[in-house]
Structure 1
Amino acid sequence: MGSHARFHLLLALTIVFWAGNALVGRATVGQVPPIALSFWRWAIALLIILPFTARDMIRVAPLIRARWQVVTVMAVASVTAYNTLLYLALQTTTAINATLVATSMPVMLLILSRVWLKTPIRLAQGLGIALSLAGVLFIIGRGDPARLMGLGLAAGDLLMLAAVLSWTIYSAMLRRYPLDVPGQTLLAVLIAIGTVFILPLYLWEIASGVTMEVTWTAATAILYTAVFPSLLAYTFWNKGVAALGAAVAGQYTYLMPLFTAVLAVALLGESFHWFHGLGGVMIFGGLWLATRQKK
């Protein structure tokens, strides 16, 4: 497998893990409070990764201190903000609306990459984006354009839009401010800082009377989100962005509705319809067009 193909595979696996994260967040509404899920997800992830990275974290501490502003913004934008906002959004919005809002991420990434990183947008890339977006909208609208026209932005949609913006900023910063720190070590640093910023929000949630009952469902949800969407997905995403760029990586978010539908069929017993298949073909076609290497 070529180097570029390997990084594309890592990005695809990232989206699979994140699709599972969205399903867990939606399935545990009313059972696991959103900020509690965010906090314990990252706290457990930190406990898992710390034994493997603690020594290297001490070694790179001077560099982290020298770039503390950049590192802190990256930690807050990714670990603290994105997932907390995602879980909060899933409390009050439908999966259709949340997915629709999430499709703005590639557009945000392209614009931010163009303005901030001076990354040009090729014609083929623009056409691929349009085709992938059409496929996403086709899936979300269940093959009926009129269905999309009836969607309105609720509080959860606005929270999801804020989550997408925070992740866009993080992805662009990975490229704009590269740090000479091993990937796993950087991830551990971001988790440690980001979890500290989640803690006051978690304490506020508890003070508001929203507490989590310790059950097998809660424990399973936290363990899954700590390992797959956290440790593995972040590692894969960081490698993909570093190798292929934020704009290319952003195209993979178009796969989220398709992968979410596949996982929903397997885990929740939902039906797979014709518009999922046709929309998936459009998404993959757009991805190929937008990410293929120019000779």
Structure 2
Amino acid sequence: MNLRHGWAAGGLVLSCLCWAGNALVARAVADSIPPMALAFWRWSLALAILLPFVGRTLWRQRAVVRAAGWRLWLVAGLGIASYNSLLYHAAHSTSAINITLLNTCLPLATFLGAGLLLGEWPARRAWFGMAVAAGGLLLLIGRGELATFLALDFYRGDLIMLLAVAAWALYSLLMRLWGARLGLAPLPLLGVMILFGLALMLPFYLAELVRVGGFAPTPATLGAIGYTALFASLLAYLTWNHGLKVLGAARASLFSYLMPLFAALLAWLLLDERLAFYHWLGGALIFAGLLLATRPAPSVQRSGE
């Protein structure tokens, strides 16, 4: 793996670490902040932080933004407005293990989409790497016991989580396909995506506000919004989008398998939860699968070549 690929892979690892923290934070405040409120104020704070750095650039490039038109609205709707909002809603109506299990569908959906939409069919080594990493993730989810899967119940939130997975897979594919065509540098691009995503979220947030009310601004709720805005929004999205550009959507999607592993490590460090043998074995399989699947060419074969 050359230096450019190494930096991109490191950025994807950092994204997943930030999002693992996001999962723990969201779970901790699930009873304190309604799902649309957390999503809306997370992105509102992220935009407030970003605007001083990109506002003038976006104003000067408003013609570029208009030219990107519906493409910007679509990626903002999928990656900003839909995925996190659906994930937070799913967390209120299904179990954490079901959410993690359904998230294993993401790399498969992205692998198939990369071939069908982009003409980037991953090589056999990448498919094998995905299988190895998925095996490690299933070991983590099941806590090393088959009985865990046999005892699973499925809920309405599972369908919501599948929609979230589909939204994120399509977002990753479209960012890979359109990234250069959108004509904006990474920071201004993220800024305008957040702006459009907030506009799409606003009606749903207001409806939730009328229906269930808001939340109390306590140190815990404000801290949750601060963490998700800085790390799970700005930092994670910038490093993820860069990884998509360098490694492609299919290989980048495999890094999502790191999130449950990082969540377990963070719970061990911050909550004093015990790490068992299946955590170590599952983690080793995930990293082995990633190393197999993310090696540079010839792991991706473009159609027509």
TM-score (norm 1): 0.97
Which residue of structure 2 lines up, in the alignment, with residue 288 of structure 1? 291
| Pairs within 5 Å for 1:113-128 | 113-128=114-129
2:92 partner SS: helix
Q: Is residue 194 from structure 1 mapped to residue 189 from structure 2 by the alignment?
A: no
| Pairs within 5 Å for 1:159-198 | 159-178=160-179, 179-198=182-201
Q: Is residue 19 from structure 1 mapped to residue 35 from structure 2 by the alignment?
A: no
Task: Determine the C-alpha separation between the residues in 1 that align with 2:242 and 2:295.
Answer: 18
Cα deviation, 1:147-200, whole Å, max 9, x if unaligned, reads 113223212222111111111111100111122210000000000000111111
Task: Determine the C-alpha separation between the residues in 2 that align with 1:176 and 1:21.
Answer: 27
Which sits farther off after the overlay, 260-269 or 135-144? 260-269
Offset, 1:142:
0.5
Task: Determine the C-alpha separation between the residues in 2 that align with 1:280 and 1:269.
Answer: 19
Cα deviation, 1:213-272, whole Å, max 9, x if unaligned, reads 111111000000000000000000111101110011001001111001111112222211
1:120 partner SS: strand
Identity %: 41
Cα deviation, 1:89-146, whole Å, max 9, x if unaligned, reads 1112222111111111101110111100011221111110100001000100000123
Aligned residues: 295
Which residue of structure 2 lines up, in the alignment, with residue 259 of structure 1? 262
Cα deviation, 1:267-290, whole Å, max 9, x if unaligned, reads 222211110100000000000011
Task: Determine the C-alpha separation between the residues in 2 that align with 1:66 and 1:153.
Answer: 44
Which residue of structure 2 lines up, in the alignment, with residue 45 of structure 1? 46
Q: Is residue 75 from structure 1 mapped to residue 76 from structure 2 by the alignment?
A: yes
Contact in 2 for aligned 1:26/1:91 (Cα 8 Å): no
Q: Is residue 220 from structure 1 mapped to residue 236 from structure 2 by the alignment?
A: no
Q: Is residue 231 from structure 1 mapped to residue 201 from structure 2 by the alignment?
A: no
TM-score (norm 2): 0.94
Contact in 2 for aligned 1:53/1:184 (Cα 8 Å): yes
Task: Determine the C-alpha separation between the residues in 2 that align with 1:103 and 1:60.
Answer: 39
Which sits farther off after the overlay, 56-65 or 213-222? 56-65
Cα deviation, 1:31-76, whole Å, max 9, x if unaligned, reads 1111100000000000000000011111221122122111000001
Give structure 1 regions of 4+ aligned residues with deviation exceeding 2 angstroms: none
Contact in 1 for aligned 2:93/2:156 (Cα 8 Å): yes
Task: Determine the C-alpha separation between the residues in 1 that align with 2:90 and 2:269.
Answer: 24
Which residue of structure 2 lines up, in the alignment, with residue 84 of structure 1? 85
Offset, 1:211:
1.9
Unaligned runs of 5+ in 1: none
